[in-house]
Amino acid sequence: MSKLSRRKLITTGLAVAGGALGLGVAARIAQRYGLIPPDHGGIYGLGETLTYASQRLLTRHSLAREFPRSMISKPPFANEIPPPSEAFKRLQAGGFADWRLSVNGMVARPASFSLAQLKSYSSHSQITMLQCEEGWSYIAEWNGVPLSQILQAVEVHPQAQYVVYFSIDPDWWESIDMADALHPQTFLVYGMNGDELPVGSGGPLRLRVPRQLGYKSVKYITHLTVTDSLKGFGKGLGSASPEGGYAWYAGI
């Protein structure tokens, strides 16, 4: 064995050992700082983890772009919605007076809010883009209450890691990490373009997460749960999306 190849062997060995050690340390740090998405398993786990971790580090406090009023899309676009359930139709017939948003989990004071109670908080608005993973997009003005205010009202435990949110449609639930849940542009939306939020756009209540694609902005929200682990929800992948083959994190 020549000198050169022995040196190469040692260097390569050290590089491999260093790489393995580095990966191990990186995984521990990522776990510690909540940079591993719940759907990190499987063949696409590596790419998914890299995307989530890098975007979470890059965007912890960044704000989604807001637009001038003149850029609001006219006419407003609304995607297809599944046919409403009987329960939804009953609530709609009553003008959504009986619509409730229940909040529980790792909170000091579990609560249930009517729309009127949500509207009693000071109303905020944002003119942001809703972008679908398919490729289309529109800009609208969204009126509502920042989710952080509701989380403050129910007093979230400091160990909380995620907020899981549920549509009245039982197949439709999502979750976001606390960076997105407490983000100033994450709204419980009840109004759109100065009017009530139309049913086609998610009325009477929709969660807006403007730094992620449209499928994270779930329509017809009835329930929120604050948790430190997503394992107990569905198949433990974080939301209905990964169960249907879509990524849990939708920042890209």
Partner 1 sequence: MCAAAWYHSGVGDSACIPSAASAIPASVSSATVPSRHSALVRVTHWITTLCFLALLVSGAEIVVSHPRFYWGETGNDLTPTLFKLPIPASRALVPTGYGYVLPDQNGWSRYLHFQAAWLLVLTGLLYAISILLNGHLRRNLLPAKDDLSWRSFSTAIASHLRFERPSDAEAWSYNLLQRLSYLFVIFVLFPLVIWTGLAMSPAFVSAVPAAVNVLGGQQSARTLHFFVSLALVLFLLVHVGMVWLAGFRSRMRAMITGRGGTFRARPTMERT
Question: Which residues sit at the interface with partner 1, rule CB under 8 A?
Answer: 2, 4-5, 8, 43-44, 46-48, 50-51, 55, 58-59, 62-65, 67, 71, 73, 75, 77, 79-80, 129, 131-139, 210-213, 244-247, 251-252
Considering the complex, what minimum distance in angstroms separates the CB of residue 126 from partner 1?
12
Name the one residue in this structure whose structure tokens are 């197949």. 171
Give least dist CB 221 to partner 1, A. Answer: 20
Q: What are phi and psi of 231, to 5 degrees?
A: -60, -35
Pure H helices in 139-194: 147-154, 178-181
Nearer to partner 1, 33 or 44 (CB): 44
Cβ proximity to partner 1: between 62 and 102 the closer is 62
C-alpha to C-alpha distance for 35 and 26, rounded to whole angstroms = 10
CB of 250 to partner 1, least distance (A): 8
- Contact by Cβ (8 Å): 243, 234: yes
| Number of CB atoms found within 10 A of residue 10's CB | 10
Is 232 or 245 the residue whose CB approaches partner 1 more closely?
245
CB–CB of 64/185 below 8 Å?
Answer: yes
Q: Tokens 């449209």 correspond to what residue?
A: 214
Nearer to partner 1, 34 or 110 (CB): 34
Instruction: Supply the minimum distance, in Å, between the C-beta of residue 52 and partner 1.
Output: 10
